[in-house]
Amino acid sequence: MKVLITGGAGFLGQRLARELLARGALHLAPHGASAEPEPITELVLLDVTRASGPDDVRVRIEVGDIAQRDVLERAIDAQTAVVFHLAAIVSAQAEADFDLGMRINLDATRILLDVCRARGHKPRVVFTSSVAVYGGELPEEVQEDTALNPQSSYGTQKAMVELLLCDYSRRGFIDGRALRLPTVSVRPGKPNAAASSFASAIVREPLNGETTACPVSGATRVWLLSPRKAVQCLVAGSEIDAAALGERRTVNLPGVSASVDEMVETLSKVGGEAAVARIEWVPDERVEKIVESWPASWDTARARALGFAGDGSFRAIVQAYMEDELHVPHKRH
């Protein structure tokens, strides 16, 4: 079978690609069926920039604008069993450029769903949704039945796609799964235009001996998932039996709730006070407003019952980063 990753040149797309190639197969048969996992014969990495790898005979790299139908028609055919749709304009950028956000986050996704529908074989579509679909007055712990009330254009676009994906699934056009991701941290590399970019930067930069600006206060609480666990959740999201999801195609993935102060405290344990001193506190109201509209925690009972697993603690998240990106071996405590 073929698998497509949109945003395949991105950090999460690249990690997911490596994980899928390492596994070599996906188990898409209904739960309880004894069928062997089906081998991945082709992995298409589609992005607006050329994916740099992985170097593997199964990988096909496609470059193009996903808001153009022909690009998606080239990437999806009747053998495409799973689409991981990660491509997106991130939160602060979608807030700064409304039309670009609508074009990529909403219109391109709709074209993707329509191309899947036109192929006629009901492929699985794993869509990465976000904490940003929630907002406004929220209960301390968001529940599965808490109303969406996004306070950003990014969150609005993600929520609209969730609705579309549910309806396309209900009608039998696709077999969709919308996974609501916590803020994925600690990401390697450079800061990006996501409002949540600081959550990675305040750990990553100080550990690299670099200074970083934190735009939110220490009391700000965020809901976090490591890249390692995020990738495992994406794979699990593709393998889960549609019947297990029932009438609800959205899943609130497991996360760890941590305040910025708690994150800094963990940083001090791992990198010492010198690392903490590399954080400059530069409040940015624009970022604060977006981040504080997001839930700091949600109920994960459904996700866990469906077999999704998150991180054990913020310390474990930092440990995963050090192992996966800095190649610091795991120490037993």
| One residue of 148, 181, 233, 317 binding a second copy per CB under 8 A | 148
Q: Is residue 136 part of the contact set for a second copy (CB under 8 A)? A: yes
Decide whether 171 or 331 has the Cβ nearer to a second copy: 171
Instruction: List CB contacts of 141: < 8 A, sequence separation 6 or more.
Output: 297, 298, 299
Assigned token pair, 262: 């708690």
89 phi and psi, to 5 degrees? -85, 125
Taking the least distance from each CB to a second copy, the nearer of 163 and 282 is: 163
- Residue 286 interacting with a second copy (CB under 8 A): no
Considering only 1-9, 41-49, 150-158, 304-312, which stretch makes contact with a second copy by CB under 8 A?
150-158
Neighbours of 123 (CB within 10 A): 25
Q: Taking CB under 8 A as the rule, which mask of x and - marks residues 96-125 in contact with a second copy?
A: --x---------------------------
Q: In whole angstroms, how close is the CB of 31 to a second copy at the nearest point?
A: 22
Per the CB < 8 A criterion, the answer to whether 267 and 199 are in contact is: no
Assess 147 for contact with a second copy (CB under 8 A). Answer: yes
* Rounded-to-integer distance, Cα 168 and Cα 151, Å: 25
Closest approach of a second copy to the CB of residue 210, in Å? 35
Q: Is residue 285 a contact point for a second copy (CB under 8 A)?
A: no
Helix axes 153-170, 109-119, angle to 10 degrees: 10
Q: Which of the following is catalytic: 134, 154, 168, 321?
A: 154
Q: How far is the CB of 160 from a second copy (least distance, A)?
A: 5
Annotate 214-281 with DSSP letters as a single string.
E-S-TT-EEEEE-HHHHHHHHHHHHHS-HHHHTT--EEE---EEEEHHHHHHHHHHHHHHHHHTTEEE
The total number of residues shown for the chain amounts to 333
Which residues in the 198-227 window bind a second copy by CB under 8 A? none
DSSP tag of 142: B
Nearer to a second copy, 169 or 220 (CB): 169
Judged by CB under 8 A, the number of residues near a second copy is: 23
| Per-residue three-class SS string for 91-134 | HHHHHHCHHHHHHHHHHHHHHHHHHHHHHCCCCEEEEEEEHHHC
81 vs 89, beta carbon nearer a second copy: 89
Chain positions 4 to 63 lying near a second copy, rule: CB under 8 A, are none
Euclidean distance between CA atoms 142 and 48, whole angstroms: 35
Compute the least distance from the CB of residue 132 to a second copy, in Å: 12
> Is 134 annotated as catalytic?
no
For a second copy, the closer of residues 110 and 278 by Cβ is: 110
159 is a contact residue toward a second copy (CB under 8 A): yes
CB of 166 to a second copy, least distance (A): 7
Whether the Cβ atoms of residue 112 and residue 174 lie closer than 8 Å to each other: no
Catalytic residues: 154
Residues contributing to the site for a second copy (CB under 8 A)? 98, 136-137, 144-151, 153, 156, 159-160, 163-164, 166-167, 170-171, 247-248
